[in-house]
Chains A and B, each alone.
Chain A
Amino acid sequence: MILTLFLGFLKIGFLGFGGGVAMLPVIFRYGREIAGLSQNAFDEMVALSQVTPGPLSINAATYIGYVSKGFGGALAATIGVVLPSFVLVIITSHFIETYKNSLIVKGALDGVRPIVVALMAVAAMLIGKGTLINGELIFYCITIGTMILSMKFKVSPIVIIIGAGIIGALWELNF
């Protein structure tokens, strides 16, 4: 059973191009088969993933593994989902290091850099969209305040994130 969990999540780990959200339907189907996960429990897990650090697919693996087989299950599923990318990254990194002066690798890296900048801007937009559209003024202030603190005053991101979390929680007190 633990081996089944491991193999199942190994397969999911191979599929997950481009991050967690694309993996969700596969993870849900698998969670239902292996752990009898209901739609409700799944929604709760996704909600929990939103409020805890860490990537969704890894959180889901830990969750489904734990629910179906305890700590060992959580470990097996988490290792399973991480392993494919772990191996692929090492192979790719090795390849790039070896051929880093070739025209192909140089050209590929040079061509992909502007795309990464664009994808970062998209990510900022998507994260902001959830909270800023129809959101309260306070969230706009936090986004703009963050940019000023980070650019002008070089405040560490960790300090900013902790500070933002405290402000957001206090704001709900409505005092």
Chain B
Amino acid sequence: MYFQLFWNFFKLGSFTIGGGMAMIPFIKDIVVEKEKWLTEDEMIDCLAISQGLPGVIAVNVATYIGYRLKGIKGAMVATLGVVMPSFFIIIALIKFLSELSDNVYIDGAIKAIKSAAAGLILVAAYGIGKSTLKSVSKVLIAFTSFALVGFVSINGLWAIVAGIIIGIGTSYYEKWRDR
């Protein structure tokens, strides 16, 4: 089990090019669909927490899932797995730094990978959106925060804070109403 955790997060760490969100399609594929470690709802909670805390999404996700499955040791193993690929790749490539970033083939490959990553994230967002945005108000909240973060450049953290406040407010309001 520890090896499984390590190996799967090692794979996640190896294929995450283009930022933490690029990891989500892989998490969905490996953690939710193949290994069934989390349900989709639990994965969304994990993403929310990972975005709302300091640090990098990829590491936060690994720590969270490792901890949920196997406690502190699991968290360590998963975090080690996700960090290790970039750690060794950077050390191995440090001498070829300037040549690498000027290489046209690598540049082409990376542009293509990022284009694919954009598509993968959109597909994942659509899938998660379909199961999450079940009421008009949630659709409105999602679109409003998309517009604010995407086009007005408001920090995503504030959107998360607002979501938490709205959510807590709603659950208390519903309790009061149903009394």
Contact = CB atoms under 8 A, between A and B. Distances in A.
Contact of A120 (B13, B53, B125): B125
A45 B97 contact: yes
Nearest to A63: B90
Indicate the size class of the contact surface on chain B: 35 or more
Nearest to B61: A89
Interface of A: 13-20, 22, 44-45, 47-48, 50-59, 62-63, 66-67, 71, 74, 78, 82, 84-86, 88-90, 92-94, 96-97, 103-104, 106-128, 130-132, 135, 138-140, 142-147, 150-151, 156-158, 160-161, 163-173
B133 A59 contact: no
A56 B112 CA distance: 19
Interface string B12-33: 0111111111101110010000
29 contacts: A13-B54, A15-B54, A19-B19, A19-B20, A45-B97, A54-B87, A55-B56, A58-B59, A66-B90, A85-B53, A93-B49, A93-B67, A96-B45, A107-B168, A107-B172, A115-B141, A120-B21, A120-B24, A120-B128, A121-B146, A122-B149, A122-B150, A123-B22, A124-B21, A124-B121, A128-B114, A139-B115, A161-B120, A164-B116
Contacts, number: 363
A94 B67 CA distance: 9
B115 A109 contact: no
Contacts of A56: 19
Nearest to B85: A53
Nearest to A51: B110
B171 A110 contact: yes
Interface of B: 11, 13-22, 24-26, 29, 41, 44-45, 47-60, 63-64, 67-68, 72, 75, 79, 83, 85-87, 89-91, 93-94, 97-98, 100-101, 104-126, 128-129, 132-133, 138-139, 141-146, 149-150, 155-157, 159-160, 162-172, 175
A18 B157 contact: yes
Contact of A130 (B21, B55, B114, B144): B114
